[in-house]
């Protein structure tokens, strides 16, 4: 169970995330939605501790993770893998090595530094790639792949980390519709097959509704919606997205009667 309690992050006078409290159970697939600048990235980055909270607490299975440092913090980051909009692969390295980077927290650092990956580690990485139909790409340079392929490599890298949580920050923002579907399918498959909790920031409400069991809506850093997709009416969505509603609320037939 991931618990956020009064989680707040300020940047100078600006409050990016404002007193957010949430409890997320194991195996949930949660879509974090809201307009640009609502605080979605900051929320995810605080959970992974890439950004430190100004106030509030983060607990994982009852254990305080808000103040972890050093080795304990590295272990926590090993447990909650990040998937970024821009993939964050090493473009000149081959695909298999990029996936093996996800095993770093599982092998002694001297072996990782020398890139002495065991046959077993390689098999784990290859099997993750094969799961997303990308086994044949293992020897290719990561930088030569399409955006959608690179994002699925990034998801395979997250998977071999054997995390309890995957935090995906706008993972499809730069992809075309076909690759968007492949990447979202990959996240949903990981969630269902392995019971890994997934928190995914999505700008598109349609995608969030289609793929997530639970939606969490932020407006100006505050939690303004938490519930199943069915409970998110178009009226609530229009409040969440404001002027951007026309872009994200699918058909928007009722925009005029708001
Ligand atoms: N490092 C930072 N320094 C100063 N302000 C920041 C920093 N990171 C985020 N912010 C501000 O915090 C607010 C929330 O940003 P955040 O990136 O979390 O929103 P978001 O919902 O993820 O938006 P987007 O979809 O555009 O990425 C924004 O106003 C942003 O400018």
Looking up residue 161, the CATH number of its domain turns out to be 3.40.50.300
Instruction: For 114-163, write each residue's pLDDT tens digit.
Output: 667 888 989 999 999 999 999 999 999 999 999 999 999 999 999 999 99
Please report the pLDDT score of residue 114 as a whole number: 64
With a 6 Å cutoff on the Cβ, whether 118 touches ligand 1 is no
Spacing, Cα 167 to ligand 1 middle (Å): 16
Q: What ipTM score was computed for the predicted complex, to two decimals?
A: 0.95
With a 6 Å cutoff on the Cβ, whether 53 touches ligand 1 is no
pLDDT, mean over the chain = 90
**Contact between residue 214 and residue 30 where contact means Cβ atoms under 8 Å apart:** yes
Domain that residue 156 falls in: 2-257
With a 6 Å cutoff on the Cβ, whether 38 touches ligand 1 is yes
pLDDT band at 242 (very low <50, low <70, confident <90, very high): confident
With a 6 Å cutoff on the Cβ, whether 34 touches ligand 1 is yes
Please report the pLDDT score of residue 250 as a whole number: 57
Instruction: For 10-37, write each residue's pLDDT tens digit.
Output: 999 999 999 999 999 999 999 999 988 9
Please report the pLDDT score of residue 255 as a whole number: 34
With a 6 Å cutoff on the Cβ, whether 37 touches ligand 1 is yes
Please report the pLDDT score of residue 170 as a whole number: 95
Atom 23 (ligand 1): residue with closest C-alpha? 37
Total domains, the chain: 1
Please report the pLDDT score of residue 254 as a whole number: 38
Atom 29 (ligand 1): residue with closest C-alpha? 37
Which of 18, 20, 40 has most ligand 1 atoms within 8 Å of CB, for mutation? 40
Please report the pLDDT score of residue 135 as a whole number: 95
């Amino acid at each position: 169970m991931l618990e956020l309690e009064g989680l707040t992050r300020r940047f100078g006078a600006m409050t990016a995330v404002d007193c957010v409290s949430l409890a997320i159970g194991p195996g949930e697939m949660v879509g974090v939605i809201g307009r640009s600048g609502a605080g979605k990235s900051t929320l995810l980055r605080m959970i992974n501790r890439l950004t430190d909270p100004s106030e509030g607490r983060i607990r994982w299975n009852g254990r305080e993770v808000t103040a972890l440092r050093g080795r304990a913090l590295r272990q926590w980051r090993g447990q909650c893998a990040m998937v970024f909009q821009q993939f964050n692969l090493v473009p000149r390295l081959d695909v298999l090595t990029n996936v093996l980077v996800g095993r770093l927290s599982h092998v002694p650092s001297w072996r990782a530094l020398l890139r002495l990956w065991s046959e077993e580690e390689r098999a784990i990485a290859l099997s993750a790639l094969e799961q997303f139909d990308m086994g044949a790409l293992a020897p290719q340079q990561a930088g030569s792949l399409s955006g959608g392929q690179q994002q699925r490599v990034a998801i395979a890298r997250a998977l071999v980390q054997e995390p309890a949580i995957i935090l995906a920050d706008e993972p499809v923002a730069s992809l075309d519709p076909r690759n968007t579907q492949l990447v979202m399918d990959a996240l949903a498959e990981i969630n269902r097959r392995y019971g890994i909790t997934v928190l995914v920031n999505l700008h598109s409400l349609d995608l969030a509704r289609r793929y997530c069991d639970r939606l969490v809506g932020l407006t100006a850093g505050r939690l303004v919606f938490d519930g199943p997709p069915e409970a998110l009416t178009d009226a609530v969505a229009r409040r969440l997205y404001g002027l951007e509603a026309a872009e994200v609320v699918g058909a928007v037939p009722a925009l005029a009667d708001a």
